[in-house]
């Protein structure tokens, strides 16, 4: 029997490796039959014009892996290896799929302003952490490293009035990831009440866990505790700081009512997604629901993706006792999901007050941008805005046009926008309303961006 | 009515904030009743000996948040806020729980040798990425950034013979995380066959997804396709490169049989956990199951936690067509879980050949350590080792003592070890056998560590 193949001395793989792969593939495909005798090392080396040691190395690998067996003084014989279907060709290099055209102006609600990122301080702390803490290469605490949890606990008490000792805090790679972990901890058969309009990701996360979701309408103060009480939900998911997409802040009275509801029956829980709580333009942030009473039946989720950068996969949750105990049980044990170097960099970033300084600086910049944008929009006849007291987006209503016309005409001018109704399930969206994120817009683009929108809309 | 509280000018919180918190809490607890009139700003400022502007600021916050309402010329009145249960005290600072004593010698299977970490190259690439790529602060591709997937695709083809175009690769924060994502993609009612003994994390991951798991015994070649065929499993989870804990490498024949089994019925799938495949001390790594045939019904999971560092939360999986399509569906959309700076640092680390150089260097160091350790153990009468051909752990059998005695006596000498039976479900463990990881042991500790074990065991 003859073995013929193209060996390429210029390739990355050594010749013996190429030869080994060829023969293994021939055996695997049944082209060299069971019990066939392979050519002697010498014969094959002459035939292929390679050294005998190349053939020896290839045969050695084939023997190691059970493709062939030696027989004393007779050479190598092919073992029984079930033939496999024909293999396809090696994968062809694939070009990166082309991204769509960049928007002319970015009014999305997911961008932030990269120029505000505290680059120098972050770099210095990251460098020091990488240099001085080789111990951080080993496994860390699955709940997150203690120094970060301690720094967060202090920060959350000072700035969000949270009652969150480090022992209740769980660090994870993004708010979506932590929401998934949290939903896994809920008792089977739980029913989740969602704000309508609200965050679509909640429906997906519940769907992946096979949990039922009810959409409850949001009134001017947020989710209604009366509607909650009438429903069969035992869990409610709310964004009290700056509801997405409506931009509402839930007033103190409504917060108390929700806490009442949750306290009325065991097994009830509020999931407080503290979305967009970091920037408040007209007064200070309201304290979190979680801290309003002792042992609140609240699981709190926060993230750094709005306040630092969307690509920082750094979020945290604060669990009440029952869920904390469940999270520590064997079933829920998983490894940590955030690099320890990033955890310790962030811990120092918070503890050494870089974070609060950054929030102040970025907050001022975003507030100024918002003011300028609102001023440019203010003389559109009939236009109104809402949800602009806090956060990085607001709603804009232009009653002259339908929502669809607002979105379509903006798109035609190269400006992608989302209509409010895209975030509704059963609720009826306020008509003629679009969602305007402004964190990704540069200051020097505002005048031009508004002029382009007004031209497109003819207002 | 009188308001009395302790304000502390030396505290971190400004005075108006302290005053606001006090009054909000008093209202929330019902101690200041509904419709009560608050003292005038002037009266309260005198009473508390603070400035009138401090009181004004606190009242402003209370009004913003709906606790009080102004009445013209009459001052502020308390709104209806449902009283809440008594709040507890502020959280007390909690000390970090003390870690257990460090092991005298580390034979765990989770450590790696931090001194082998390619610190200089990694740091340089990380620094350059942080400096020159501010665009990486924005959101990335949820499946992982293309340059990392492209670099991995090349590497996996060259070194593991995988057929994995970048479009099939999913990046995630650790193998455990990706396993969870993968299990969510399986059809409902799937039954997973697990290697026994094997990886306990699989049972937990399946438990969280409410999937059934069957334990199938492992023979000298791995999981048996005959046993698989007799079972009702449609999914099998195997570690062909260096099975944990047995240390087996699955021979080519068994690999083909498993692929046959998977191809026999639609809906069957092999999950190939390429655990510990990077270091092979006696021959080159076997090619992965995934690449043995075209369109193999295999989902492949790999990680950098053994080859670079356990704290790098960087893993990847390669999905077959059906699961890839499902993963891209709306329900399974989630954000990325790995910092884009780390993704791009790793992409360059691989593409610029640092990774393969590191694997060679670390592989030589681990092989030398293993040889020395085996030499030290070789003259224990009756002792035998297995699973030492590859990877960073092996099994040690000392027939003179029971497994329990081996573990207990080592523990008494300050050396934590795991017995093989700890990883068994229904399978009977080879008696008198412990699992020996050697990646976390320093070279200069080997002689002393073996002497200590032999003294403890009296062999």
Residue range B189-214: mean pLDDT, rounded: 94
Task: With CA atoms as reference, report the closest residue to A222 among B79, B66, B58, B29.
Answer: B66
Among B14, B19, B21, B65, the strongest candidate for a mutation testing the A interface, having the largest count of A CBs within 10 A, is B65
Q: What is the pLDDT of residues A249-287, one digit of tens each?
A: 998 889 999 999 999 999 999 999 998 888 887 766 678
In this predicted structure, the answer to whether residue A86 has a pLDDT above a threshold of 50 is no
Instruction: Return the pLDDT at B120.
Output: 87
Q: Would you state the pLDDT for residue A276?
A: 85
Q: Given this model, what pLDDT does residue B437 score?
A: 96
- Identify the closest residue of chain B to A159 by CA–CA distance: B13
Give the strand pairing for A418-419 and A433-437: antiparallel
User: Residue A93: what pLDDT?
Assistant: 61
| Predicted local distance difference test score (pLDDT) of residue B386 | 95
Evaluate if residue A181 carries a pLDDT over 50.
yes
ipTM for the complex?
Answer: 0.81
CB contact under 8 A, B338 and A292: no
Locate B211 and state its tokens. Answer: 């999937």
B457 vs B398: CA distance, rounded Å: 9
The pLDDT assigned to A337 comes to 92
pLDDT at B208: 87
Smallest Cβ distance to B139: which of A84, A201, A310? A310
- Direct distance between the N- and C-terminal alpha carbons of chain A, in angstroms, rounded to an integer: 83
Indicate the range of A378-382, B37-41, B88-92, B160-164 predicted with least confidence: B88-92
Q: Which two tokens stand for residue B298?
A: 């295999």
Give the helix/strand (H/E) hosting B453. helix B446-457
pLDDT category of residue A29 using cuts at 50, 70 and 90: confident
pLDDT of the residue at A290: 93
**C-alpha dihedral (A16, A21, A23, A26), degrees to nearest 10:** -170
Compute the C-alpha angle B196/B199/B201, nearest 5°: 130
The pLDDT, as a whole number, for residue B34 is 85
Chain B residues with CB under 8 Å of A173 CB are: 173, 177, 313, 337-338
> Nearest CA of chain B to the CA of A117: how many Å?
8
Query: Is A257–B82 a contact, with Cβ atoms under 8 angstroms apart?
Result: yes
C-alpha–C-alpha distance, residues A123 and B133, integer Å: 13
Annotate A164-186 with DSSP letters as a single string. --GGGEEEES-HHHHHHHHHHHS
Are B288 and B272 in contact by the 8 Å Cβ rule? The answer is yes
Closest Cα in chain A, distance from residue B401 (Å): 30
Pairing between β-strand A169-172 and β-strand B212-219 as defined by DSSP bridges: unpaired
CB contact under 8 A, A331 and B115: no
Asked if pLDDT for residue A13 goes beyond 80, the answer is: no
Query: What average pLDDT does the structure give for chain B?
Result: 89
Answer yes or no: is pLDDT of A100 > 60.
yes
| Interchain CB distance below 8 Å, B117 and A137 | yes
Domains in chain B, start-ordered, CATH in brackets? 15-78 (1.10.10.10), 117-355 (3.40.640.10), 357-457 (3.90.1150.10)
- pLDDT tens digits along A326-342: 998 877 777 889 999 99
CB B66 within 8 A of CB B79: yes
The interface residues of chain B toward chain A in range 173-192, judged by CB-CB distance below 8 A, are: 173-174, 176-177, 180, 184
pTM, two decimals, is 0.83
Does residue B145 register a pLDDT over 90? yes
Which of A140-144, B56-60, B96-100, B239-243 comes out lowest in average pLDDT? B96-100
> Is residue B204 within a helix (H) or strand (E), and if so which, with residue range?
helix B200-208
Q: Which of B202, B197, B193, B252 is nearest to B227 (CA)?
A: B193
Mean pLDDT, rounded, for A207-220? 92
Closest CB to B340 among A12, A131, A311: A311
Given CB atoms, is A100 within the 8 Å cutoff of chain B?
no
Q: Which of A81-95, B77-91, B442-456 has the lowest mean pLDDT?
A: A81-95
Residues 6+ apart with CB under 8 A from A60: B283
- Cβ atoms of B413 and B456 closer than 8 Å: yes
List, in order, residues 6 or more apart from A124 with CB less than 8 Å away.
none
Question: Tokens at residue B300, please?
Answer: 């492949």
Q: Which of A203, A311, A339, A350 to mutate to test the interface with B (most CBs of B within 10 A)?
A: A311
**What pLDDT score does A447 carry?**
95
Q: What pLDDT score does B286 carry?
A: 74
Predicted confidence band of residue B46 (pLDDT cuts 50, 70, 90): confident
Average pLDDT over residues B374-384: 94
Distance (Å) of CA B52 to CA A65, B8, B19, B57: 85, 16, 12, 9
Distance from CA of residue A53 to its chain's centroid?
52
A 265-294 residues inside an 8 A Cβ radius of B: 282-284, 286-287, 292-294
Q: Report the percentage of chain A scoring pLDDT > 90.
A: 58
Confidence of residue A87 (pLDDT cuts 50, 70, 90): very low
B313:A338 CB<8 A: yes
Q: How far is the alpha carbon of B363 from chain A, nearest alpha carbon, in Å?
A: 18
Chain B, 396-415: which have a CB under 8 Å from a chain A CB? none
Is the pLDDT assigned to residue A85 strictly greater than 60? no
State the best of B178, B184, B257, B334 to mutate against chain A, taking most chain A CBs within 10 Å: B334
Give the model's pLDDT for residue A91.
Answer: 55
Quote the tokens at residue A253. Answer: 């009275």
pLDDT over 70 at B229, yes or no: yes
pLDDT (average), residues B272-297: 84
* Residue A314 to chain B, least CA–CA distance (Å): 8
**Three-state DSSP state, A226:** helix
Q: Which helix (H) or strand (E) holds A156?
A: helix A146-160
């Amino acid at each position: 029997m003859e073995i013929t193949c193209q060996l390429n001395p210029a390739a990355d793989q050594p010749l013996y490796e190429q030869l080994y792969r060829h023969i293994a593939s021939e055996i695997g495909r049944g082209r060299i039959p069971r019990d066939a005798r392979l050519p002697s090392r010498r014969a094959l080396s002459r035939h292929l014009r390679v050294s005998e040691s190349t053939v020896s190395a290839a045969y050695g690998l084939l023997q190691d892996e059970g493709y062939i067996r030696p027989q004393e003084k007779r050479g190598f014989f092919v073992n029984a290896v079930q033939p496999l279907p024909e293999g396809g060709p090696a994968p062809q290099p694939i070009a990166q799929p082309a991204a769509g055209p960049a928007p002319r102006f970015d009014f999305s609600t997911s961008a932030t302003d990269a120029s505000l990122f505290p680059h120098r301080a972050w770099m210095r702390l990251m460098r020091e952490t990488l240099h001085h803490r080789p111990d951080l290469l080993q496994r860390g605490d699955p709940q997150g490293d203690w120094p970060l949890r301690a720094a967060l606990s202090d920060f959350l008490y000072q700035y969000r009035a949270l009652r969150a000792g480090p022992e209740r805090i769980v660090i994870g790679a993004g708010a979506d990831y932590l929401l998934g972990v949290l939903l896994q901890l809920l008792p089977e058969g739980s029913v989740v009440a969602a704000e309508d309009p609200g965050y679509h990701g909640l429906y997906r996360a519940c769907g992946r866990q096979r949990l039922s979701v009810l959409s409850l309408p949001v009134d001017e103060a947020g989710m209604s505790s009366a509607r909650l009480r009438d429903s069969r939900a035992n869990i409610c998911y709310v964004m009290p700081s700056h509801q997405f997409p409506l931009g509402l802040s839930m007033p103190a009275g409504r917060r108390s009512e929700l806490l009442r509801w949750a306290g009325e029956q065991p097994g009830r829980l509020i999931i407080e997604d503290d979305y967009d709580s970091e920037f408040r333009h007209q007064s200070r942030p309201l304290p979190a629901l979680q801290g309003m009473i002792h042992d609140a039946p609240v699981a709190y989720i926060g993230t750094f993706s709005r306040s630092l950068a969307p690509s920082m996969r750094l979020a945290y949750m604060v669990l009440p006792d029952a869920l904390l105990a469940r999270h520590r049980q064997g079933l829920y044990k998983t490894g940590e999901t955030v690099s320890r170097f990033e955890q310790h960099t962030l811990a120092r970033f918070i503890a050494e007050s870089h974070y609060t300084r950054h929030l102040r600086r970025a907050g001022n910049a975003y507030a100024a941008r918002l003011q300028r944008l609102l001023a440019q929009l203010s003389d559109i006849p009939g236009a109104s805005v809402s949800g602009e007291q806090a956060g990085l987006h607001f709603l804009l209503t232009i009653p002259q046009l339908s929502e669809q016309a607002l979105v379509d005409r903006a798109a035609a001018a190269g400006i992608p926008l989302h209509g409010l109704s895209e975030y509704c399930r059963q609720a009826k969206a306020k008509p003629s309303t679009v969602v305007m994120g402004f964190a990704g817009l540069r200051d020097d683009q505002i005048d031009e961006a508004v002029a382009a929108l007004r031209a497109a809309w003819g207002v």
